[in-house]
Amino acid sequence: MSQLIGLINYGIAGNIHSIKKAIEKAGGTVKIVHSKEELESVEKIVIPGVGSFKDAMKELENAGLLEALKDAMGTKPTLGICLGMQILSSLGFEYGKTAGLNVINAEVKPMLVNAKVPHMGFNAIKIIKPNRLLFGLENEEFYFMHSYEVVNYTDITALTDYAGHQFVSAIQKDNLYGVQFHPEKSRDAGIQLFKNFIAL
Amino acid sequence: MRTRIIAKLDVKPPFVVKPVHFEGLRKIGLPANLAKKYYEQGADEVMYIDIVASLYQREILFSEIEQTANELFIPFGVGGGVKTIDDFSRLFHAGADKVVINTYAVQENPNIINQAAEIFGNQAIVVNIEAKRWDNGWECYTDCGRIQSGKDVIAWAKEVEQRGAGEILLQSVDYDGRQRGFDLELAKCVVEAVTIPVVVTSGAGKLEEIKELIDYAAPSGVAIASLLHYDKYTIQDIKAYLRNNGIEVSK
């Protein structure tokens, strides 16, 4: 039976089309979610993210999704992608200080690295704490496209090395999952990650 | 750090064309077919540049973009004729992950870079610089090497970084389409002038020249057109050669 995955659509930012395509390729059925009511009918949630932390939080609030999303995440497995993972944190520092969804104890700060930023391109993940989302994906390469990183110490599932700097590339807390990379832009490894998410 | 190998499609709708030194055009094929081919060969990204949209003052063709994006599970950059925040927005909705801007930002309103970066995030904003040698440096051109701007390339590169661009796509008007190697000095100077990634294009004729460019200038990526279009090499060939010569690339 094909389960319904709710893809949160907030604001003008973002190419959610490519996430929808990738989930469908992995065998999932996608419902684009714009409202609280639409959120109720889905079994799992994917939070995409292109844009800035500040804009993303503002748009979620404008769409009336902020509280509803926090409630739904308590019971429905949720995957945050890139900025979608970052906004799970308590606090973000992009274009000023902004409160996040505050479901993961973390802050989002500019990458401090002696190399080109944004960190852009394929890079490997090193699994620190195996889980079902990352099953079979050890050392696989995923596409990264970000200038900020999640600073967290308790919920890390994978790290990535960029020019000698280790940063958090995946997190999990209960049924909340986050990946800093873009599985929808990461060839077969990314499709496999969506398959794993569907199988949760 | 893995150097990105990017397939670049110069499009004069409906065809991908190969501009020779920015002038003569040869038809290569349809963008959707070529994008899929290079994706399957292992490209790290595909870039789609409508090379006449700005010149003819007409809009980008969104249906073509959507069709091309459909088969790709790698990042897709799109540019040509981009002028407004609405253009950016529509391109992202049509399936672009990055939007490339040049003419309008150089000639009319550099502030569009700031606006777009604040709304869409700087990682999604690419500024294309077309550089042509002058005096002791390089001058920015627009409209595929046709129009001079009077702006110095290095100063402009620093300015666009300051304004929030997430990446520079660096083209050489002098070397483009000639397949005789890259403008190595240009690449090195721009890479060293900014802290954002620089993708270098224009000039690959031999595999050795790509390696030479990476060794000398350390760009974040190399965008390749002619070498691929004439099936001289596949992306796999290029990556295998680089890997065997000590340069890190993705699988």
For residue B118, what pLDDT is reported?
Answer: 86
Instruction: Provide the annotated active-site residues of A.
Output: 82, 182, 184
Q: For chain B, which domains are there?
A: 4-244 (3.20.20.70)
B74 vs A: CB within 8 A: yes
As a CATH number, domain A4-199 is 3.40.50.880
Residue to substitute from A187, A188, A193, interface B, most B β-carbons within 10 A = A187
Model confidence at A94, pLDDT cuts 50, 70, 90, reads confident
| Per-residue pLDDT at A107 exceeds 70 | yes
Domain chopping of chain A, boundaries: 4-199
Interface touch B123/A95, C-beta < 8 Å: no
What would the pLDDT profile of A60-83 be if each residue is shown by its tens digit?
A: 999 899 999 999 999 999 999 999
B41 vs A: CB within 8 A: no
What would the pLDDT profile of B84-114 be if each residue is shown by its tens digit?
A: 999 998 898 888 999 999 988 999 999 999 9
DSSP β-bridge partners for residue A168: A159
For residue B71, what pLDDT is reported?
Answer: 84
Interface touch A146/B123, C-beta < 8 Å: yes
DSSP string across chain A: -PPEEEEE--SS---HHHHHHHHHHTT-EEEEE-SHHHHHT-SEEEE---S-HHHHHHHHHHTT-HHHHHHHHTTS-EEEETHHHHTTSSEE-TTS-EE---SSS-EEEE---SS-SSEEEEEE-EESS--STTTT-TT-EEEEEESEEEE-SSSEEEEEEETTEEEEEEEEETTEEEESSBGGGSHHHHHHHHHHHHH-
Interface touch A162/B166, C-beta < 8 Å: no
For residue B21, what pLDDT is reported?
Answer: 62
B73 vs A: CB within 8 A: yes
Model confidence at A87, pLDDT cuts 50, 70, 90, reads very high
From the CA of A195, how many Å to the nearest CA of chain B? 15
Model confidence at A49, pLDDT cuts 50, 70, 90, reads confident
SS3 assignment, position B126: strand
| Per-residue pLDDT at A46 exceeds 90 | yes
Q: B116 to chain A: nearest residue by CA?
A: A51
Model confidence at A92, pLDDT cuts 50, 70, 90, reads very high
For residue B59, what pLDDT is reported?
Answer: 67
What would the pLDDT profile of A7-20 be if each residue is shown by its tens digit?
A: 998 866 566 889 99
Residues of A in contact with B121 (CB under 8 A): 13, 50-52, 83, 147
From the CA of A128, how many Å to the nearest CA of chain B? 21
What would the pLDDT profile of A120-179 be if each residue is shown by its tens digit?
A: 999 999 999 999 999 999 999 999 999 999 999 999 999 999 999 999 999 999 999 999
d(CA B160, CA B156): 6
Interface touch B197/A122, C-beta < 8 Å: no
Residues of chain B short of pLDDT 70, as ranges, are 19-23, 54-60
| Per-residue pLDDT at A42 exceeds 70 | yes
d(CA A175, CA A158): 16
